[in-house]
Structure 1
Amino acid sequence: MKLQRSLTLSLMAWALGALLIVWGCFVALGYRTGIHEADELTDGHLASVALLQLAQNPSQIDTRGDVASLPGLSSLKSHDYQRSMSVVVWNAAGQVLMRTGEAPELPFNAKEGFETLQLGTPPVEWRAFSRWDGPAQQKKVTVLLSINERDDLAQDIAEQVAEPGFWLLPVVALALGLAIHRGLRPLYALSRDVDALDIHQLSPLPSDHVQQEFRAVVNSINTLTGRYQAAVSRERELASELAHELRTPLASLTLQARALRKATGGEEQEQLLAQLERDTLRAGQVLSNLLALARASRTELVEAMQTLDLDAIARTEVAEFGQAALDSGHELALSSPGPFVMQGHPVLLALVLRNLIENALSHTPPGTSVEVQLDPEARCVQVCDSALQGPPAPDAPPLRAKSHHSLGLGSGHRVVEKIAAIHGAVFESAPAPPGFASCYRVVFPGTPSHPEKPQAAAPQTL
């Protein structure tokens, strides 16, 4: 089983990792700086001792050992930073006037300044500083210090510089952990509020999450909650209405089947069979619309809109209904000036056109002209027919109504209404253009309130 990762631990790990890298760089830099400064310090001591020695005026040759080993002076070298330096003094002829310290004998030369020498057997490195007493060069002083002793001093200073970092890191890590935990308290509160949401009784998240980073999350969750509640409410309403509408043909099917069993004559039996067929088709249409509504709901919640050409979708749908229009004696045409680019769900928009065309073909008599009209500038699509208004057939739902809220157009138009709402559009009964008796229109967002009839090219008749 995959372990769940903790945001707090992840932030702690990244923060401590970054802190450790920075701390390591500073410790390494401090260590190198300590060594460099220790080298500078010892070189300064060498030069200082040389200048002090030049101020003296030895009158005779004097060879001394280590000053610290002299009787009564063994306690002089008691400081951590006190070094054992060796001093050699020459006259102008290269004769040693004074020599003290542990350094081995070194040859005389006239050079001045700092240098690193290999002295003794086996050779050992010594740091030396040489200086003449002036332009006359009557006396030369050389001060020496063992490289090993100088490195010990440098390492001791560097460790003293870097040591506080080792004690500081755990303290900083603890303080950082407490700060991160305290800073994430609003996130913990938001997580608890999200966990407390009830899918059956959704309510918006509280607005006390004032952090700017959480506002987008809270708004998105509240928007999703509102959409979900609206979708569930619409589905319940439509399911109730369609169930009522489906109950009528099913009850009629039962009655017609019983009457068919008792029918005696051939003419009565044919009438019952015709009525049974109509009720069956009506029940099938209601079920088809229920499936369409389910698809629309799933698309609204799951799929994202995409850029599409409504003109291409309309051409495809009109072409598919060409044979049906020919068989029913209708004249089906498409009037469109060209591409109609928009954002939407292609499957659902095809379902809109299919329902409107099918409704026009199914509820108008033969010889009626049905035209699909697109207007990209007005951002609308409408389906018009030339059938005169009159009382509908006894078995058909009422089709002509003036109010959008009481269209009474049956389940097919309820599907169109829902899909239009998904796209932010309006489905309404529109004034019929010249030559037509009725018109139903879908107006997409950003269109005029009452767009005129599309000024399109000559209709393409199928």
Structure 2
Amino acid sequence: MRSARGPSLTRHLLAWVLGALTLVWATFIAFGYKTGEHEADELTDGHLASVSSLLLPLAPAGLAPDVPPAPAVSAPDLKAHDYQRTISVVVWDAAGKVLSRTGDAPLPPFASPEGFASLQLGQPPQPWRAFSRWDERHRYRLMVLLSQRERDDLAADIAGQVVEPGLWLLPVVALVLGLAIHRGLRPLRKLAEKVHALDTHDAQKVEDSVRFQELAATVDAINRLVDRYHAVLVRERALANEFAHELRTPLASLALQVREAREAPPGPLQQEALGRLEQDALRAGDVLAHLLALARASRAELVEAAQPVDLDAVARRVVSEFAPHAHAGGRELGLSSPGPFPLSGHPVLLELALRNLVQNALAHTPRGTQVEVELDPATRALQVADDGQQHAGPPGEAAAPLQPLRLGLGHRVVEKVAALHGATFEPEVALPDARRAWRIRFS
């Protein structure tokens, strides 16, 4: 069953792409507008300088001191082109007398600075852009003026022409990007449909090949997860069947022992039946405890994350807990460890595995046995060793176990925990001096 729909990955990617594109677009628009204004300013300044260069050589031949200045001219038809502006021209002689004046600019002062200048002229004052220069003999001074408002209008017009393509470019790019991202994510949507179609109870995989490396890695991870889940499921089914078989025997025996104890007359026979009833009940409880331990290990394998663990601290805690029980049963329990044994794992499961090894060693060795938990961080090994073979009695004399534990079931739990931590479990390793050990070797 599919879960509720969450945010769309397509819209998420489109939002990020468009956000970045808008930022870049706005930056280019701003720089484009500023650049347009700057270039327009340079264009008008160059135009003023060009007009002055064109008119100044005509001043000596076409103007004379006794020629009255021409009246200001304001012709609306001069602006026949977007880039055509009304130019005003003023010519003085060396004494500062106006020889010629053309255009609608107010008369500027003769003492205005030479070259480019921004002047405030008229009443009320209005900004004008001016360029003035002398002829080569310093007889005439010519000034060309342009209204700052017209200059700014021209700059705005040029800047607008520069940025105008970008104003419609962003919507077009957004539409194209949306279609491209939607089309590009089609393989991912197909992969999602295949994953939703997987049956978790079978070893079914995503078998179809994919064209893209990113999706190939995802498919590989999904298939590994399917293999892992199926392997866990198969192991749990096998263990459940085995435990059901192990549990069936003590339960059936319990029913028989209860009937025998109820029907037996008070006396030795009834006490013997009650003793067997107790043993079978403990055996059934032991099977259930191991079944719960395996269930906990399986849950940790699937959902719990590993964390740093000091195996030395775990071993000290387990040994201190079992030492009084071992002493009460005529056995000695010790710890041999050089110090911290750090690793990454599940502390509860590691303690459970060590408890099983210690419990089995104490339960299946005769009195007088020395059981020792040994840690070796250098070789990454943990083992529980005993010298029970040295204290074995004559044939036929049974050891007195502390609890009726099942050695095989306990070791299945240890194998499960070791596999979960990438370690190997080595049962009954022969050691010098007739000792034996059950060892977990971490990678």
Which interval holds the TM-score relative to the shorter structure?
0.7 to 0.9
Q: Which residue of 2 aligns with 1:166?
A: 167
Residue by residue, what CA displacement relative to the aligned partner does 1:10-60 show, whole Å, maximum 9, x if unpaired?
221121122222212222222222222222222222222222222211245
- When the two chains are superposed, the root-mean-square deviation of aligned CA atoms in Å is 2.8
Residue by residue, what CA displacement relative to the aligned partner does 1:188-233 show, whole Å, maximum 9, x if unpaired?
2332222222222242333623433334433332222222111111
Percent identity, please: 57
| 8 Å Cα contact 2:201-2:230 kept in structure 1 | no
Q: State the AA in 2 paired with 1:218.
A: V
Q: Which residue of 2 aligns with 1:361?
A: 362
Structure 1 position 368, deviation (Å): 3.2
Q: Which residue of 2 aligns with 1:61?
A: 67
Q: Give the Cα separation in 2 of the matches to 1:190 and 1:290.
A: 38
| 8 Å Cα contact 1:65-1:102 kept in structure 2 | no
1:332 counterpart = 2:333:
yes
Q: Which residue of 2 aligns with 1:51?
A: 53
Structure 1 position 67, deviation (Å): 5.5
Q: Which residue of 2 aligns with 1:405?
A: none
| 8 Å Cα contact 2:88-2:102 kept in structure 1 | yes
1:200 counterpart = 2:198:
no
Q: Give the Cα separation in 2 of the matches to 1:372 and 1:118.
A: 99
Q: Which residue of 1 aligns with 2:426?
A: 428
Q: Give the Cα separation in 2 of the matches to 1:357 and 1:189.
A: 53
Say how many residue pairs are matched: 429
| 8 Å Cα contact 1:42-1:150 kept in structure 2 | yes
Structure 1 position 253, deviation (Å): 0.9
Q: Give the Cα separation in 1 of the matches to 2:157 and 2:247.
A: 94
Q: Give the Cα separation in 2 of the matches to 1:312 and 1:102.
A: 98
Among 12, 27, 32, which residue is 2:29 paired with?
27
| 8 Å Cα contact 1:420-1:442 kept in structure 2 | no
Among 404, 408, 411, which residue is 1:410 paired with?
408
Residue by residue, what CA displacement relative to the aligned partner does 1:415-457 show, whole Å, maximum 9, x if unpaired?
12222222233333334334446x34223144xxxxxxxxxxx
Listed as ranges, the matches of 1:29-178 within 5 Å are 29-56=31-58, 57=61, 58-59=63-64, 60-65=66-71, 69=75, 77-109=79-111, 111-134=113-136, 136-178=137-179
Q: Give the Cα separation in 1 of the matches to 2:105 and 2:377.
A: 101
Q: Give the Cα separation in 2 of the matches to 1:38 and 1:313.
A: 80
Q: Which residue of 1 aligns with 2:438?
A: 441
Q: Give the Cα separation in 2 of the matches to 1:339 and 1:147.
A: 83
Q: Give the Cα separation in 2 of the matches to 1:93 and 1:30.
A: 46
Structure 1 position 250, deviation (Å): 0.8
| 8 Å Cα contact 1:119-1:125 kept in structure 2 | yes
Q: Give the Cα separation in 2 of the matches to 1:76 and 1:235.
A: 96
- SS for the counterpart of 2:146 is strand
Residue by residue, what CA displacement relative to the aligned partner does 1:162-185 show, whole Å, maximum 9, x if unpaired?
211112121111122222223322
Among 377, 383, 386, which residue is 1:384 paired with?
386
Structure 1 position 392, deviation (Å): 9.1
- SS for the counterpart of 1:55 is helix
Deviates more, 1:427-436 or 1:244-253: 427-436
Listed as ranges, the matches of 1:235-250 within 5 Å are 235-250=236-251
Q: Which residue of 1 aligns with 2:345?
A: 344
- SS for the counterpart of 2:80 is coil
Q: Which residue of 1 aligns with 2:317?
A: 316
| 8 Å Cα contact 1:423-1:444 kept in structure 2 | no
Q: Which residue of 1 aligns with 2:272?
A: 271
| 8 Å Cα contact 1:384-1:432 kept in structure 2 | no
| 8 Å Cα contact 2:251-2:284 kept in structure 1 | yes
- SS for the counterpart of 1:430 is strand
Alpha-carbon distance change, 349 to 385 in structure 1, aligned in 2, over 3 angstroms: farther
Alpha-carbon distance change, 208 to 260 in structure 1, aligned in 2, over 3 angstroms: same
Residue by residue, what CA displacement relative to the aligned partner does 1:112-132 show, whole Å, maximum 9, x if unpaired?
212222222222222222221
Residue segments in structure 2 that go unaligned for 5+ positions in a row: none
Deviates more, 1:275-284 or 1:49-58: 49-58
Deviates more, 1:198-207 or 1:316-325: 198-207
| 8 Å Cα contact 1:360-1:385 kept in structure 2 | no
Structure 1 position 384, deviation (Å): 2.2
Q: Give the Cα separation in 2 of the matches to 1:395 and 1:334.
A: 23
Deviates more, 1:90-99 or 1:279-288: 90-99
TM-score by length of 1: 0.84
Residue by residue, what CA displacement relative to the aligned partner does 1:354-399 show, whole Å, maximum 9, x if unpaired?
2222222223333333333333334331332414396696999xx9
Q: Give the Cα separation in 2 of the matches to 1:377 and 1:93.
A: 105
Structure 1 position 265, deviation (Å): 4.6
| 8 Å Cα contact 1:311-1:340 kept in structure 2 | yes
